[in-house]
């Protein structure tokens, strides 16, 4: 019998390869490149990038960043902070509670993409790279260096999943998921400071205030980009998109979500306070115009979220309820084109608009809600088109003279609430609030009412019944839930909320026409954009449709210079978002578990996880 021995490993024996980045550079050199490139990019923003001021923003001044330089400055600062956190600098390790260098890679990518887009745009619009000053060349080299260093850092990848051939498919799936979670946690344990425990209440409230201030700053910057500086808005989208991805990969977004979920009332109140401050940050009523339309769109999307997100009813003609409320309010608000010579006060017009939409919701829902799935979607799509065609035919020739046909109801007077004329500018604390700012504040109050209704109904017994119907209607019926009644209530509540927003829209636009309420079109609101706002933002949540509606209105409004390619670019963006974040921008816990198999199931689902 012979004994087989193994030779000891000598120093010349190669060690097992560890995780590596996309580029073969030692880790210490790669991190130094990322940090050095980020610092040099920051310095370059205080230099001149071009010799002429013909490009968007004045990039010719030394010592004062402007335009796209500000965005590169923000991206460079974020990259430098994440790089220093990777060195283990005390006080900065908590910037990456999730561990790893994914946040650093996305921050470096944001800085690189914004800087190189600016350099290429300057060269293209002004006629070559000869129009670049030294700062333009330096920022291009610096951001490329930072990106190369970030991509060279090791990727923490889980080891291959062990599979036992004797296990059935379900056991293999469970073992695979458990092994993946354990491997990822072990890989990040050494680099991550771990999740931050529950902080003192006053500290968490300060965090909420900081989050709201950041959101207000980002929204104000995006909406305030001049219409003649399209390059600035594209750069803002690049920085904001990759910057959000960096914060999400770092774990800061998840921690902020945990803190806000523990203080939901304070968070909602703070969000409305931040929104109310928006008109006071604007020097021109032009941007308040976009703000009020965003609120109208967002309020209607939140009402649709009751129907689609909570009850699971696919409604493709929801914009018709907005039109019913707008037409009803226009008919009773004193318009000279109205066949009814009446002028109701605002509170009465609001009740008429909401009641008319509620009646139409019950009228349409009663015969159709016994259908399910695609059949219900087709019926609601038909209702939306029938409403538009009917409003177009009620012109006194094809039908009774009610809606004035394709000309619509025009010259709708401005609202006057308790002696406050919303059509006239007012001075408040040294700030001049214009017409659209007045309507913005009014629409904000209505949005608060809709949020309250959504939140209270979602947590109520009827809200739980909606969720049960959405998850499995057959099982819900077997447990004694009256499916038809529950769905009809959801349809009626959603319709009345849309009519509520329609009453304000009629006065803001001065005119109500059938063409405003189509299934699809280049500019929202329409049924396709409303449904996209709910799905994009996050079904079944409060903040999701609000954020989704804001993006879906603001981005097409700012990208009108693309012309015929506008919808193409918009569609590509939606495809990418649904590919990488199918649960939506603001997803509840249940939908995260549905779309991400590797997510660890919580012990108890919170009320907001419905």
How do residues 462-513 score in pLDDT, each as one tens digit?
888 888 888 888 888 888 888 888 888 888 888 898 888 889 888 888 888 8
Which residue is associated with the tokens 């193994």? 6
Q: Compute CA 295 distance to the chain's CA centroid, rounded to the nearest angstrom.
A: 13
Region for residue 429 given its phi and psi (left: phi exceeds 0; alpha: psi -120 to 50; beta: otherwise): left
**Residues 6 or more apart in contact with residue 65 via CB below 8 angstroms:** 45, 46, 72, 73
The two three-digit tokens of residue 302, written as one number: 């939140």
589-607 core/surface letters (b: 16 or more CB in 10 A; e: else): bbbbbeeeeeeeeeeeeee
450-489 core/surface letters (b: 16 or more CB in 10 A; e: else): bbebbbebbeeebbbbbbbbbeebeebeeeebebeebbbb
Q: Identify the CA nearest to 534 among candidates 508, 525, 595.
A: 525
State pLDDT tens for residues 208-249.
888 888 888 888 888 777 777 778 888 888 998 899 889 888
CA gyration radius, the chain = 28
pLDDT bin (cut points 50, 70, 90) of residue 557 is confident
HEC assignment per residue over 424-485 = CCEEECCEEECHHHHHHHHHHHHHHHHHHHHHHHHCCHHHHHHHHHHHCHHHHHHCCCCHHH
pLDDT at position 524 = 66
Given a contact cutoff of 8 angstroms between Cβ atoms, the answer to whether 155 and 30 are in contact is no
pTM of structure:
0.76
pLDDT at position 438 = 85
Given a contact cutoff of 8 angstroms between Cβ atoms, the answer to whether 500 and 325 are in contact is yes
Given a contact cutoff of 8 angstroms between Cβ atoms, the answer to whether 63 and 46 are in contact is yes
pLDDT at position 144 = 94
High-pLDDT (> 70) share of the chain, %:
83
For residues 560 and 49, the model is more confident at 49
Taking residues 545-563, report their average pLDDT: 79
Q: Look at 4-8, 126-130, 371-375, 548-552 and tell me which has the smallest mean pLDDT.
A: 4-8
Q: Compute CA 480 distance to the chain's CA centroid, rounded to the nearest angstrom.
A: 37
Residue 417: in which H helix or E strand, if any? strand 416-417
Residues 517, 144: Cα–Cα separation, whole Å: 47
Given a contact cutoff of 8 angstroms between Cβ atoms, the answer to whether 493 and 487 are in contact is no
Given a contact cutoff of 8 angstroms between Cβ atoms, the answer to whether 89 and 116 are in contact is no
Given a contact cutoff of 8 angstroms between Cβ atoms, the answer to whether 501 and 329 are in contact is no
Give the relative orientation of helices 483-509 and 285-305 as an angle to the nearest 10 degrees: 170
Rounded to a whole number of angstroms, the distance between the first and last alpha carbons of the chain is 68
Taking residues 392-407, report their average pLDDT: 79
**304 preceded by a cis bond (ω within 30 of 0):** no
Given a contact cutoff of 8 angstroms between Cβ atoms, the answer to whether 450 and 303 are in contact is yes
pLDDT at position 441 = 87
Most confident of 83-92, 345-354, 532-541: 345-354
**409 has which bridge partners?**
512
State pLDDT tens for residues 368-381.
887 777 788 888 88
Residues 486, 463: Cα–Cα separation, whole Å: 9
Residues 496, 395: Cα–Cα separation, whole Å: 26
Q: Look at 321-335, 398-412, 560-574 and tell me which has the smallest mean pLDDT.
A: 560-574
Q: Look at 18-27, 254-263, 500-509 and tell me which has the smallest mean pLDDT.
A: 18-27
Residues 76, 39: Cα–Cα separation, whole Å: 7
């Amino acid at each position: 019998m012979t004994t087989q021995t193994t030779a000891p490993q000598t120093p010349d024996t190669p060690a097992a390869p560890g995780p590596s980045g996309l580029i073969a550079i030692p880790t210490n050199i790669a991190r130094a490149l990322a940090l050095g490139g980020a610092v040099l990019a920051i310095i370059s923003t205080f230099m001149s990038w071009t010799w002429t001021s013909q490009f968007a923003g004045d990039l010719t001044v030394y010592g004062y960043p402007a335009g796209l330089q500000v965005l590169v400055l923000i991206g460079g600062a974020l990259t430098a902070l994440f790089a220093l956190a990777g060195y283990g600098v005390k006080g900065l390790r908590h910037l990456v509670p999730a561990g790893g260098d994914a946040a650093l890679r996305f921050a470096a990518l944001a800085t690189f993409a914004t800087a190189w887009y600016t350099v290429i745009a300057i060269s293209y619009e002004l006629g070559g790279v000869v129009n670049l000053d030294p700062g333009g060349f330096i920022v291009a080299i610096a951001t490329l260096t930072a990106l190369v260093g970030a991509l060279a850092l090791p990727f923490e990848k889980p080891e291959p999943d062990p599979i036992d051939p004797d296990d059935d498919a379900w056991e293999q799936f469970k073992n695979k998921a458990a092994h993946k979670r354990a491997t990822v946690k072990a890989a990040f344990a050494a680099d991550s400071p771990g999740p931050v425990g529950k902080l003192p209440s006053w500290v968490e409230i300060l965090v909420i205030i900081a989050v709201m201030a950041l959101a207000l700053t980002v929204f104000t910057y995006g909406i305030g980009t001049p219409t003649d500086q399209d390059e600035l808005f594209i750069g803002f989208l690049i920085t904001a998109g990759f910057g959000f991805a960096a914060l999400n990969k770092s774990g800061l977004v998840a921690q902020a979500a945990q803190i806000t979920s523990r203080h939901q009332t304070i968070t909602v109140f703070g969000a409305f306070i931040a929104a109310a401050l928006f008109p006071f940050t604007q020097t021109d009523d032009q941007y308040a115009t976009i703000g009020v339309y965003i609120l109208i769109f967002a309020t209607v999307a939140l009402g649709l979220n009751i129907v689609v997100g909570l009850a699971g009813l696919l409604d493709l003609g929801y914009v018709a309820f907005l039109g019913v409320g707008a037409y009803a309010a226009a008919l009773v608000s004193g318009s000279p084109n109205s066949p009814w010579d009446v002028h109701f006060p605002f509170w009465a017009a609001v009740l008429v608009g909401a009641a008319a939409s509620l009646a139409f919701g019950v009228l349409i829902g009663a015969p159709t809600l016994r259908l399910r799935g695609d059949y219900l979607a087709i019926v609601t799509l038909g209702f939306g088109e029938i409403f538009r065609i009917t409003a177009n035919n009620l012109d006194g020739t094809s039908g009774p003279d009610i809606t004035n046909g394709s000309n619509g109801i025009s010259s709708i007077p401005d609202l006057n609430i308790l002696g406050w004329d919303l059509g006239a500018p007012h001075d408040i604390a040294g700030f001049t609030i214009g017409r659209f700012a007045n309507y913005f504040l009014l629409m904000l109050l209505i949005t608060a009412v809709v949020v309250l209704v959504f939140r209270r109904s979602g947590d109520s017994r009827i809200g739980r019944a909606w969720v049960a119907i959405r998850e499995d209607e057959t099982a819900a019926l077997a447990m004694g839930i009256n499916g038809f009644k529950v769905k009809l209530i959801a349809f009626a509540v959603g319709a009345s909320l849309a009519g509520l927003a329609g009453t304000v829209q009629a006065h803001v636009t001065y005119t109500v026409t059938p063409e405003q309420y189509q299934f699809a079109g280049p500019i929202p609101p329409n049924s396709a954009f409303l449904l996209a706002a709910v799905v994009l933002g996050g079904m079944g949540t409060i903040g999701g449709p609000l954020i989704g509606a804001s993006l879906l209105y603001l981005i097409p409004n700012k990208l009108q210079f693309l012309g015929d390619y506008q919808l193409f670019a918009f569609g590509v963006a939606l495809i990418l978002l649904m590919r990488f974040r199918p649960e939506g921008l603001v997803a509840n816990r249940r939908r995260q578990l549905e779309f991400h198999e590797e997510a660890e199931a919580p012990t108890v689902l919170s009320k907001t996880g419905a």
